[in-house]
């Protein structure tokens, strides 16, 4: 059972709990996920099965897309709707156009301080564990990148206006912190009142499966809810090898490439001419040599 499941994680469940539930449903142990999604959030959680667990590292680095609701004028200690209210501000004088004006300030590469309720480890403990003990510490800002940020809907007539935004961002971005920081920039405070991940790498929400669907498919012995390993790493460029080269690759041996120059140290998926996935490899050029060499770094076929 090798491949990926595009799971639609429900709110109120940790990513670890989602993996455990799938282990019980499928009676299969070798399962993992490609990046934590907050317990209160819902949306796309790519799940790896079998040999696909060895490919998780390539998926975690990919951009994600979220749809979030910001509630202005109410700041909480967790930066979301589950925390204790720390500050309430009157938003009567805040103009809708002002919200639009500040958004460009949050685009691009920047430093972001992870929230105290995050899973970041400090001194051997996760921040959320320290937060539960009532301990608050200084956190080291981390480099993130917000590629795109768009307003989907305003509900400005409310005493505490709500705005729905779409965010495309890099690994490690905390959307709750983005919402909090926008509120601070507007000087009224804010928190993230809802979050859904609509895309993670190649996995889209319109193609995701809920637990009940997976149970139904599994009971009918229909495995069509499982995507191939190639589908999960479709973003990696491909090198096709002949039968002789394939035998070398599956034994972990490098092969010479005589056609088409490839990017040095680029990660490729290696397939047969019949498009059977063999391995993940890198292209290198030896010192003083003109011929490029394809070296397998993860052999996936036997």
What is the rounded CA–CA span in Å between residue 201 and residue 190?
A: 28
- Do 6 and 198 form a contact (C-beta atoms < 8 A)? no
Q: Which residues contact 220 (CB under 8 A, 6 or more apart)?
A: none
What tokens appear for 13 in the block? 């469940």
What is the rounded CA–CA span in Å between residue 189 and residue 140?
A: 22
| 47: nearest Cα among 219, 237, 227 | 227
Q: Pick the catalytic residue: 38, 80, 138, 207?
A: 38
What is the rounded CA–CA span in Å between residue 281 and residue 273?
A: 16
**φ/ψ (deg, to 5) at 248:** -70, -45
What is the rounded CA–CA span in Å between residue 33 and residue 38?
A: 13
DSSP class of 228: P
Q: What is the CA radius of gyration of the chain?
A: 23
What tokens appear for 160 in the block? 């505490």
* Burial class for 132, CB neighbours closer than 10 Å (0-12, 13-18, 19+): exposed
What is the rounded CA–CA span in Å between residue 225 and residue 232?
A: 13
Judge whether 222 counts as a catalytic residue.
Answer: no
Across the strands, what pairs with 47? 5, 33
Instruction: Tell whether the torsion through CA atoms of 201, 196, 53 and 212 is positive or negative.
Output: negative
What is the rounded CA–CA span in Å between residue 298 and residue 295?
A: 9
| 1: nearest Cα among 229, 209, 207, 220 | 229
Catalytic positions, written as ranges: 38
């Amino acid at each position: 059972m090798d491949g990926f499941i595009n799971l639609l994680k429900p709110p109120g469940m940790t990513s670890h709990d989602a993996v455990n539930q799938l282990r019980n449903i499928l009676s299969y142990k070798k399962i993992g996920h490609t990046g934590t999604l907050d317990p209160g959030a819902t949306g796309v959680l790519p799940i790896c099965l079998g040999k696909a667990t060895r490919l998780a590292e390539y998926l975690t680095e990919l951009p994600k897309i979220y749809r979030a609701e910001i509630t202005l004028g109410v700041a909480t200690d967790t930066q979301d709707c589950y925390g204790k209210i720390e500050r309430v501000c009157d938003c009567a004088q805040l103009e809708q156009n002002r919200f639009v004006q500040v958004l460009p300030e949050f685009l691009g590469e920047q430093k972001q301080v992870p929230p105290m309720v995050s899973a970041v480890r400090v001194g051997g403990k996760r921040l959320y564990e320290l937060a539960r003990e009532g301990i608050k510490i200084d956190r080291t800002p981390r480099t993130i990148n917000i590629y795109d940020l768009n307003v989907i809907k305003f509900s400005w007539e409310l005493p505490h206006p709500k705005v729905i935004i779409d965010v495309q961002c890099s690994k490690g971005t905390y959307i709750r912190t983005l919402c909090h920081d926008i509120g601070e920039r507007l000087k009224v405070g804010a928190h993230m009142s809802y979050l859904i991940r609509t895309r993670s790498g190649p996995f889209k929400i319109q193609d995701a499966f809920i637990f009940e669907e997976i149970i139904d498919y599994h009971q009918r012995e229909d495995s069509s809810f499982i995507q191939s390993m190639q589908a999960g790493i479709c973003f990696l460029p491909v090198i096709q090898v002949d039968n002789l080269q394939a035998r070398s690759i599956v034994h972990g041996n490098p092969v010479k490439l005589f056609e088409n120059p490839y990017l040095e140290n680029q990660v490729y998926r290696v397939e047969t001419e019949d498009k059977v996935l063999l391995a993940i490899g890198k292209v290198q050029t030896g010192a003083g040599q003109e011929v490029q060499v394809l070296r397998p770094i993860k052999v996936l076929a036997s």
